[in-house]
Structure 1
Amino acid sequence: MSSEQPQSVTPTTDGVFGTPESEGKSNVAVAILVAVVAMLVGAAIYGGIMRATAKDNGEYTLISYAAIAVGLLVGLALGKLGGRNPALPIVAVVLTIIGAVLGQAFGYALMLSKWADVSVMEAITDHSSLLKDAFKEDFDAMVAVIYVIGAAAGFSVTKKMVG
């Protein structure tokens, strides 16, 4: 018989949400806030690319790289700041799709601004029905694939970074 007393075991996390040593180093709320800002920056880039590729005859190009850029920006923000929260890759998918949709809408507003000689704000507020109609007319399987590719990029980057 031993006179040793049993040692107490302190419960720790299994690594899914982080270890006690890593607690305090991640903040999911801040990560999501920064990811929303990254999404808006990505949407602005997306719209700018649409506007830059627009021709005077009204043709433009939707480039999947722009949606991927939105996904990468969102994924990096969430992965870097969010810690090991397993919900973050799903948040990346949602924010990436929202960012791609906003980017496309902003691109339409930029093009309308140029062609109708109105400000971007006027294009958004006074001609929102035109923007909505353009979005509906252009939405097809290829646009959906572009969104999915961007969302996959955001999911993948976030997933790799959160472990």
Structure 2
Amino acid sequence: MSQSATPPQPQPQPEVQAQPETEAQAQAQPQQPAPPQPQPVDGNPYAQQPGAVPPPPPAPYAPPAPPRNNIALGLVTAVVAALVAAGIYGVVIGTTKHEIGWAAVGVGFVIGLAAGRLGGRNPALPVVSAVLALGAVYLGQLVGEAMIGADELGVNFSKVFFDHFDVVQDAWKADADPITFLFFAIAAFAAFSGAKKAAL
């Protein structure tokens, strides 16, 4: 009679006591990655990182300025400036009863500045500015003569200037001297150079 073999019984394993992890074992274990930081809506990846310097904002787009070369606008502006400057120059002469050199320079410079600033780099504008400066100085001196004559006669300025313009011109010719014509040259030069500089 054969004996039946009993299957081997598993032998109990000795219990392994859990030992505390040493620092070396803890460092050897792979660390879990940090959860991803949420990205901002505006697409700036540096906004959520501490200590990161954000890039400078982009410069706003400005279309390039068109080149200034509007001779008509420059001429109209220069004529208006010449009339206004002539009136002011005439009032200065009529009030002080003297021709003043810096006032003639101012007349020329204002005309040249107006023409060059609004007319641009057209080469005709400095020449036209110089011619207008000559006319403005002459007109201003006539206004000054008329103011002086009206004051001496005790009449209205407009009556002397408009009704007796030939007398005003004769009085200007009698009072003209080399300094008078020097003021013409100074004003023309100031207008020419002012138009050149203002167009740059």
Matched, 1:100 2:137: yes
Identity %: 40
Q: Offset of 1:62 from its aligned partner?
A: 0.8
Q: Offset of 1:161 from its aligned partner?
A: 2.1
Structure-2 separation of matches of 1:129 and 1:90:
29
Q: Offset of 1:110 from its aligned partner?
A: 1.3
Match of 1:35 in 2: 78
2:107–2:137 Cα contact (<8 Å) kept: yes
Matched, 1:129 2:172: no
Over residues 88-116 of structure 1, what are the superposed CA-to-partner deviations in whole Å (9 max), with x where a residue is unaligned? 11011000000000000011111122111
Classify the secondary structure of the residue corresponding to 1:52.
helix
Structure-2 separation of matches of 1:79 and 1:35:
9
Q: Offset of 1:140 from its aligned partner?
A: 2.4
Match of 2:178 in 1: 141
What is the TM-score with the length of structure 1 in the denominator? 0.78
Classify the secondary structure of the residue corresponding to 1:124.
helix
In proportion to residue count, which structure has more helix?
A: 1
Match of 1:85 in 2: 122
Classify the secondary structure of the residue corresponding to 2:123.
coil
Match of 2:197 in 1: 160
Moved over 4 A (4+): none
Over residues 125-149 of structure 1, what are the superposed CA-to-partner deviations in whole Å (9 max), with x where a residue is unaligned? 3322321111111222211111101
Matches within 5 A, 1:33-72: 33-54=76-97, 61-72=98-109
What is the TM-score with the length of structure 2 in the denominator? 0.64
Structure-2 separation of matches of 1:51 and 1:140:
17
1:82–1:88 Cα contact (<8 Å) kept: yes
- Of 22, 36, 55 in structure 1, the residue corresponding to residue 66 of structure 2 is 22
Structure 1 unaligned residues grouped into runs of 5+: 1-20, 55-60
RMSD: 1.7
Structure 1 counterpart of 2:144, one-letter code: G
1:86–1:162 Cα contact (<8 Å) kept: no
Higher relative contact order (CA 8 A, sep 6+): 1
Structure-1 separation of matches of 2:93 and 2:120:
34
1:89–1:158 Cα contact (<8 Å) kept: yes
Q: Offset of 1:153 from its aligned partner?
A: 0.6
Match of 2:149 in 1: 112
Structure 2 counterpart of 1:84, one-letter code: R
Residues matched between the structures, number:
137
Q: Offset of 1:22 from its aligned partner?
A: 2.5
